Structure 1
């Protein structure tokens, strides 16, 4: 079974700043993941040509089960507001997604506590900015796999130190209400050491994923809850491909019994 997480940067290429469906499709197909967590996912955004990146990823993997969970309506870095129920698929949205080749028994979306402060962020276009943090969510699914039920969640945590820890603990509590084994995929905006120290969950891979041209730190993780971990099996392969999209490298972990 291949588990993967990928911060898409809404499919943008660092080489030319453009978003092309073919590039995104090829990058996702190369992962050959059975379960994929995606972050920084666009739907109906002008900047990404109105693409539904979640559906595109599912098509690339031949995965029948997929779901997008919007965190905001509008465009991050410009004009946006927290997602609300009145936003239909015609509104530009931005969030996270989960794609699975296995059937989904049920889905669960959990709102995570948002950081109430602005924080300095270094951007390529405008230098150092004080940015308001976006809402954060956890998207989880109970999957019907050949090994039995398995719970997988994905999230993208705050860049504000301390608040990402609070969100991570909240996400772990929500995941523990679901059947074991439990996996959390995502861009947690913190390295593996603190992640394990604050949760007790085990990283299945320790490898740098950011920034993509020459990774120096691990922000992207595949975590397993030690309660029920034996049923998952052992790690037999770890990959961090370098696709022509995003400023993160995807992390792919293959497990086998």
Structure 2
């Protein structure tokens, strides 16, 4: 069994007031996941105490394999608004520590990392409130005990035209990635658009937003290839952020996973 978790962590905000990355780390660790995909992660931001949240969370989860991929680099402070879109290195590492974006963490070895910038608002400067922001994804070839699994973390746009283009780009850029494959993240859509646009199977059928009394399913796990869910996905209240985390247990067809390496 492989346990997958995805969570929009809202940079560790508790009840919309204060950031508590220690509480977030403890809540994620309690889920005992093999792979964790996170969205809205801060590095070096004043609002979250200047911490590199991916490293703090990886330490709390005991995961040595991790990558942070910024959608925006630079301070997000409301007065200076100097954040900018960043170029991505081949290994998924940012040229600067400061930023805001997605992260992927694994307790199993990762054979390769692949960051991706998605189509959308990729222009310098932090967009004003209510306007979309640059979007990224990161893929990892994870060597699980059941075989190789490609895991992709992302956070899609709220605007419908952009999210459709982003799903199309992900499908195209991942067409040669080893199978089985899973895509995890806040896809900012309530329905089955992600599965329709990619042709991949939806594993989440529970509401995830808002955290208190969730009624919308906007956090998703899509699967392609020989990966099977072991029971229904769960939406778990971490006591942090405005989303619930999604937990899904899967198993792989080891023969197909080895063939794809």
- For normalisation by structure 1, the TM-score amounts to 0.87
Aligned to 1:6: 7
CA-CA distance at 1:77 after TM superposition: 7.7
CA-CA distance at 1:130 after TM superposition: 5.5
Aligned to 2:62: 62
Note if contact 1:103-1:145 (Cα within 8 Å) is conserved in structure 2. yes
Aligned-partner SS, 2:231: strand
Q: Unpaired runs of 5+ in structure 2? A: 89-93, 253-261
Does 2:156 correspond to 1:154? no
Q: Which residues in structure 2 correspond to 1:1-257 (within 5 Å)?
A: 1-14=2-15, 17-76=17-76, 78=78, 79=81, 80-84=83-87, 87-89=95-97, 92-115=98-121, 131-225=130-224, 228-229=225-226, 232-256=227-251
Greater strand content: 1
* Cα distance per residue 1:163-206 (max 9 Å; x no partner): 11110111122222210001000100012422222221111121
Note if contact 1:4-1:33 (Cα within 8 Å) is conserved in structure 2. yes
* Cα distance per residue 1:97-133 (max 9 Å; x no partner): 000011000000111001489xxxxxxxxxxx86332
Counterparts of 1:102 and 1:237 in 2: how far apart (Å)?
Answer: 23
Note if contact 1:144-1:150 (Cα within 8 Å) is conserved in structure 2. yes
Question: Per the alignment, do residues 234 and 132 of structure 1 end up closer, same or farther by CA in structure 2, a change over 3 Å counting?
Answer: closer
Counterparts of 2:67 and 2:241 in 1: how far apart (Å)?
Answer: 21
Aligned-partner SS, 1:244: coil
Aligned-partner SS, 2:217: coil
CA-CA distance at 1:6 after TM superposition: 0.3
Counterparts of 1:76 and 1:167 in 2: how far apart (Å)?
Answer: 24
- More displaced 10-residue stretch of structure 1: 52-61 or 108-117: 108-117
Aligned residues: 240
Query: Which of structure 1's runs of 4+ aligned residues deviate more than 6 A?
Result: none
Question: Per the alignment, do residues 87 and 63 of structure 1 end up closer, same or farther by CA in structure 2, a change over 3 Å counting?
Answer: closer
Counterparts of 2:130 and 2:191 in 1: how far apart (Å)?
Answer: 25
Question: Per the alignment, do residues 44 and 196 of structure 1 end up closer, same or farther by CA in structure 2, a change over 3 Å counting?
Answer: same
CA-CA distance at 1:21 after TM superposition: 2.7
Aligned to 2:256: none
Q: Unpaired runs of 5+ in structure 1? A: 118-128
CA-CA distance at 1:76 after TM superposition: 4.7
